[in-house]
Amino acid sequence: MNEDLLDLQYKQSGPTPTAFSIRATRVPMKFTTFNTLNDDILLFGVFRYYRLDEENAWNMASPRTLLGIPPGYANGTPSVDVLDHLPPLPLFIDYRDTTTAICRQDESAIHHALLLWDRLRRIDLHFSPSIMHKSLMLMDEPFQMLEHLSLSSTTKEDTSLVLPKTFLAPNLRRLTLHGISLPNRLRLLSSTVSLVTLVLTNIRASGYFLPRPLIAHLWSLHQLEELTIEFSIPIPRPSAERELLGKRLTPVTLPNLKHLRFQGVSVYLECLVAQIRAPLLERLDIMLFNQLAFVLPHLSHFINTTEAFKLPIATVSFGDEVSIITDHDITQQHGAPFALHVMCKELDWQIDCAAQICCALMTPLSGVQELRLDFDGATVPTRWQNGEIDGTTWHELLRSFIGVNMLRICAALSEEVSRALQVNEVGLDPGLLPGLQEIVIETADSLFGSFIHARQVAGRPLAVRSTLSNAMEGSGSNTTEVTEYTARLLSTIEHRGTVVSQRKWRPQNEALNHSPVPLMMPIHFVHNDRVNLGLPIVLVATHRCMTLLDAGNPAPVGDCSTIFIRINWPGYGEWSSQKIMTRDQTPAHNTITVEKFAKHVASAVCRFMDEQLRVYGGEALWRIWPGGITKDHVILIGVVHVSQGSWQPILQLNRHIIPPSLGS
The string of DSSP letters for 526-568 reads BBTTSS-B-EEHHHHHHS--TTBTTTTSBP---S-SEEEEEE-
pLDDT digits (tens, 9 = 90+) for 187-218: 889 889 999 999 999 999 999 999 999 999 99
* Cα torsion 16, 19, 25, 30: sign: positive
Most confident stretch, 42-56, 473-487, 513-527: 513-527
pLDDT digits (tens, 9 = 90+) for 520-564: 778 888 887 666 788 999 999 888 787 888 888 889 888 788 899
What dihedral angle (degrees, nearest 10) is formed by the CA atoms of 481, 485, 491, 496? Answer: -150
- Report residue 547 CA to chain centroid gap: 31
Q: Is pLDDT at 514 greater than 70 in this prediction?
A: no
Evaluate whether 371 touches 405 at the Cβ level (below 8 Å). Answer: no
Q: Which of 631, 636, 630, 641 is nearest to 652 (CA)?
A: 636
Q: What is the per-residue pLDDT for 632?
A: 92
Q: What is the per-residue pLDDT for 61?
A: 29
Q: Is pLDDT at 469 greater than 80 in this prediction?
A: no
Q: What is the per-residue pLDDT for 284?
A: 97
The three-state DSSP-derived secondary structure of 218-252 is HCCCCCCCEEEEEECCCCCCHHHHHHHCCCCCCCE
Q: What is the per-residue pLDDT for 86?
A: 63
Interior CA angle at 51 toward 572 and 176, to 5°?
95
First to last CA, the chain: 66
> Using CA atoms, how far apart are residues 311 and 245, in angstroms rounded to an integer?
31
> Using CA atoms, how far apart are residues 38 and 48, in angstroms rounded to an integer?
29
Most confident stretch, 67-71, 361-365, 374-378, 574-578: 361-365
Evaluate whether 317 touches 325 at the Cβ level (below 8 Å). Answer: yes
* Cα torsion 504, 510, 516, 517: sign: negative
Query: Which run of H or of E encompasses 571?
Result: none
Q: What is the per-residue pLDDT for 4?
A: 34
pLDDT band of residue 82 (cuts 50, 70, 90) is: low
Burial class (CB in 10 A: 0-12, 13-18, 19+), 6: exposed
Determine how many CB atoms are found less than 10 A away from the CB of residue 219. Answer: 14
Evaluate whether 368 touches 309 at the Cβ level (below 8 Å). Answer: no
Tally of residues, the chain: 664
Q: What is the per-residue pLDDT for 54?
A: 31
Considering the chain, what percentage of its residues have pLDDT values greater than 90? 40
> Using CA atoms, how far apart are residues 650 and 635, in angstroms rounded to an integer?
9
Interior CA angle at 59 toward 58 and 63, to 5°?
70
Interior CA angle at 565 toward 559 and 567, to 5°?
145
pLDDT band of residue 228 (cuts 50, 70, 90) is: very high
Residue-range domain boundaries for the chain:
1-116, 128-278, 282-475, 476-663
Query: Rounded mean pLDDT of 598-623?
Result: 84
Q: Is pLDDT at 398 greater than 90 in this prediction?
A: yes
The radius of gyration of the chain's CA atoms, rounded to the nearest angstrom, is: 29
Q: How far is CA 401 from CA 359, 395, 428, 429, in A?
A: 9, 11, 17, 14
pLDDT band of residue 604 (cuts 50, 70, 90) is: very high
| pLDDT greater at residue 23 or residue 643 | 643
Query: Rounded mean pLDDT of 38-58?
Result: 31
The string of DSSP letters for 133-176 reads HHHHHT--SB-TT--EEEEEES--S----B--TT-B-TT--EEE
Query: How many Cα atoms occupy the beta-carbon half-sphere of 597 within 13 Å?
Result: 32
* Bridge pairing between strands 276-277 and 322-327: unpaired
Residue type, 432: L
Q: What is the per-residue pLDDT for 503?
A: 83
Q: What is the per-residue pLDDT for 90?
A: 86
Q: Is pLDDT at 502 greater than 50 in this prediction?
A: yes
Range with the lowest mean pLDDT among 62-71, 219-228, 272-281? 62-71
Residue type, 366: S
> Using CA atoms, how far apart are residues 56 and 220, in angstroms rounded to an integer?
36
Determine how many CB atoms are found less than 10 A away from the CB of residue 475. Answer: 17
Helix residue ranges, H only, 93-128: 104-114
Helix residue ranges, H only, 305-445: 347-360, 362-365, 391-399, 411-420
The three-state DSSP-derived secondary structure of 361-405 is CHHHHCCCCEEEEEECCCCCCHHHCCCCCCHHHHHHHHHCCCCCC
Residues contacting 258, CB < 8 A, separation 6+? 225, 226, 280, 281, 282, 283
Question: Is 286 strand, coil or helix?
Answer: strand
Mean pLDDT, the chain, rounded, equals 78
Query: Rounded mean pLDDT of 274-282?
Result: 95
What predicted TM-score, i.e. pTM, was given to this entire model?
0.65
- Report residue 422 CA to chain centroid gap: 37
Most confident stretch, 22-36, 379-393, 486-500, 595-609: 595-609
